[in-house]
Amino acid sequence: MPARTGKEFIDRLNSSEREVYIHGEKVTRNLADHPAFRGLVRSYAELYDMQHDDELRATMTYPSPTTGEPVGRSFLQPRTHDELRSRRDMMKTWADHSMGMLGRTGDYLNSSLMAMAAAADWFGQVDPQFARNIVSYYEHVRENDLLLTHTLINPQANRAKATHEQADPFLAAGIVKETDNGIVVRGARMLATLGGIADEIMVFPSTVLRADPKDEPYSYAFAVPCDIPGLRFLCRESYDYGRSHFDHPLGSRFDEIDAVAIFDDVEVPYERCFMIRHPELLTRGRLYSETGALVHMTHQVVVKDLAKTEFMLGLMCKIADAIQIDGFQHVQEKIAQVIIALETLKGLLRAGEADAEVNQWGIMTPAWDPLNVCRNWYPRIYPEFVRSVWQLAASGLFGLPTEKDVFGEAAEDVERYLQAANIGGKERVRLFRLAWDAAVSAFAGRQEAYEFFFFGDPVRMAGALMYSYDRRPYMDRIDAFLHRDDEGS
């Protein structure tokens, strides 16, 4: 099946039988129609439909190398700068649709998978079968346009101890045994955003995995369908409260549920395993950096950040214009801060693409340093945008009736007393409800935490940035300066 439509996405989800726990309910079928997922699933369906829009088809798809049928462009393995940029255009088109509020759009993990498949020999260094497995999995996902989630984190129980030292050896998902057909996995993994509704889950090395033989049971990289027997998802509460798009413009559309993935002796067939054991290869994120997956995922993330920053800029300018506060200096400063962030992101993205080079696996790969700077910086700057929105909108975020009052008996009061300088009450409430959902609601809080953590702990990412950055020339320059007078003396 080539690039799928929204209906095909929904039909597949509704016909799959899985085990998802939410709000005290066990949901096994028709997830697309469940109130906790319905709004989000519709938004994802819209993304798939964009692949079939006459005006967007060329941006969103490319001919499959195996069938010639159109498939999603985020699967394209770029060999040239133009192809790399074409991936960015596709990713931006999807990101704009949710204003950067969706983090697990297919392009995020497709980018990772396409890089891993190109680097098949990395997996093959242990067993050539692993190389074949990652390539055929990539082709399977591409040709069926499957939606992936992933889990890289072990349960939090005791972060002062290694995985194998936890009180329960199968708290974190580990390999219980091997059978003739594959591995049996028992335990939990965090935190699968979209876990309940994705087609497949990639279960890849944890960031805390140690290169210690005792961590061998936790050393694996595999992928399974979300409806595989024994796998269940324990979801957080939904922040889509079933309210209208008017009341909750973001939460009613884009709340990507997060879930704990629990493996109850799941038998993972060997053909879905890409690496087993070998903690020395899977530690410290080696898989992601050495295959090029990390750079390509970051490329997608920066594009999403761009869309989100443009949204925040537009929103803040609309608020300032509505209540005529843009003449105040601190308001100008706050808006300028977002403009500076936006232009900096654009510059770094462009630098990453302009300095892209073909990596050892033959893939045109963005320069790492500019993108790495973005991934370290955005978690720190995004919360400032959120704070700026509520500083600009102030009580306007709370003197905010809901749709039923806006269009009900109180409509006249709304129109009169909630008017802004240049729009009537109804339109002002519509705008400020969007600001509320971007800066105050449970959805907004989750977005802020998501931006801070989803790509890893910023504290440890900063350490990784420092260690990976070539600092030697600057240290040498200091030495040279300290000894500038030595030659003459």
> Residue from 354, 358, 421, 449 that binds ligand FAD (CB under 6 A)?
449
Using the structure block, give the residue that is written with the tokens 């970051």.
298
Nearer of residues 156 and 489 to ligand FAD, judged by Cβ: 156
Q: Does 201 bind ligand FAD (CB under 6 A)?
A: no
- Confirm or reject binding of residue 454 to ligand FAD (CB under 6 A): yes
Q: Check binding of 328 to ligand FAD (CB under 6 A).
A: no
The smaller minimum CB distance to ligand FAD, of residues 322 and 386, is found at: 386
Alpha-carbon gap, residue 138 to 135, rounded angstroms = 5
Structure tokens at 41: 């699933």
Which one, 26 or 159, has the nearer CB to ligand FAD? Answer: 159
Among 47, 50, 153, 293, binds ligand FAD (CB under 6 A): 153
Q: Is 475 in the site for ligand FAD (CB under 6 A)?
A: no
Smallest gap from residue 190 Cβ to ligand FAD (A): 6
111 is an interface residue for ligand FAD by CB under 6 A: no
Residue 309: which of 92, 108, 107 has the closest Cα? Answer: 92
Structural element, H or E, at residue 384: helix 368-393
35: β partners: none
Residue among 81, 234, 457, 465 that touches ligand FAD (CB under 6 A): 457
> Least Å distance between CB 215 and ligand FAD?
15
CA gap 107, 60 in Å, rounded: 10
Residue 272 has phi, psi (to 5 degrees) of: -100, 10
- Nearest one of 208, 216, 203 to 175, comparing CA atoms: 216
Confirm or reject binding of residue 467 to ligand FAD (CB under 6 A): no
Of the candidate residues 4, 73, 150, 304, the single one contacting ligand FAD (CB under 6 A): 150
Q: Which two tokens stand for residue 61?
A: 């798809």
**Could you identify the residue written with the tokens 């999807």?**
94
- Which of residues 7, 23, 404, 460 is near ligand FAD by CB under 6 A? 460
Give the three-state DSSP class for 166. Answer: coil
Pairing between strand 19-22 and 231-235?
A: parallel
Q: Is 237 in the site for ligand FAD (CB under 6 A)?
A: no
Query: What DSSP designation does 153 have?
Result: B
Report in angstroms how near the CB of residue 154 gets to ligand FAD at its nearest: 7
Residues 193, 260 contacting (CB under 8 angstroms): no
**209 near ligand FAD, judged by CB under 6 A:** no
By CB under 6 A, tell whether 489 contacts ligand FAD: no
> How near is the Cβ of 359 to ligand FAD at its closest, in Å?
24
- 415 makes contact with ligand FAD (CB under 6 A): no
Q: Are 264 and 186 in contact (CB under 8 A)?
A: yes
250 binds ligand FAD (CB under 6 A): no
Six-digit token string for 424: 């009537």
Phi, psi of 220 (to 5 degrees): -165, 160
Least CB distance to ligand FAD at residue 155 (A):
8
Asked if 47 contacts 105 with a C-beta cutoff of 8 angstroms, the reply is yes
Q: Is 478 in the site for ligand FAD (CB under 6 A)?
A: no
> Does 219 help bind ligand FAD (rule: CB under 6 A)?
no
Task: Indicate whether 258 belongs to the interface with ligand FAD (CB under 6 A).
Answer: yes
Instruction: Name the minimum Å distance from CB 437 to ligand FAD.
Output: 16
Q: How many other CB atoms are there within 10 angstroms of residue 29's CB atom?
A: 15
Restricting to residues 61-100, which ones interact with ligand FAD according to CB under 6 A?
Answer: none
Q: Which residues pair with 233 in a beta bridge?
A: 20, 261
Answer yes or no whether residue 453 interacts with ligand FAD by CB under 6 A: yes
CB of 153 to ligand FAD, least distance (A): 5
**Calculated CA dihedral for residues 168, 172, 175, 177, nearest 10 degrees:** 30
Q: Which string of b and e fits 168-188 if b means at least 16 CB within 10 Å?
A: ebbbbbbbbeeeeebbbbbbb
Could you say whether residue 275 binds ligand FAD (CB under 6 A)?
no
Nearest CA to 385 among 436, 451, 338, 329?
338
CA distance 380 to 373: 11
When the beta carbons of 167 and 459 are compared against ligand FAD, the nearer one is: 459
Contacting ligand FAD (CB under 6 A), which of 68, 327, 395, 459? 459
Name residues contacting ligand FAD, limited to 157-176 (CB under 6 A). Answer: 159
Number of residues in the chain: 489
Q: Could you tell me which stretch among 44-52, 145-153, 271-279, 368-376 binds ligand FAD (CB under 6 A)?
A: 145-153
- Tell me the two tokens of residue 26: 């066990």
State the nearest-atom distance from the C-beta of 289 to ligand FAD, in Å. 16
| Residue 461 binding ligand FAD, by CB under 6 A | no
In DSSP notation, 343-370 reads HHHHHHHHHHHHT-EE-TTS-EE--HHH
Nearest distance, CB of residue 21 and ligand FAD, angstroms:
17
Q: How many CB atoms lie within 10 A of CB 147?
A: 24
Site string for ligand FAD, 181-200 (x = CB under 6 A): ----------xxx-------
Q: Which is nearer to ligand FAD, 183 or 191 (CB)?
A: 191
Q: Rule CB under 6 A: choose which of 59, 318, 456, 465 binds ligand FAD.
A: 456
- In the complex, the residues that contact ligand FAD under the rule CB under 6 A are 149-153, 156, 159, 191-193, 258, 446, 449-450, 453-454, 456-457, 459-460
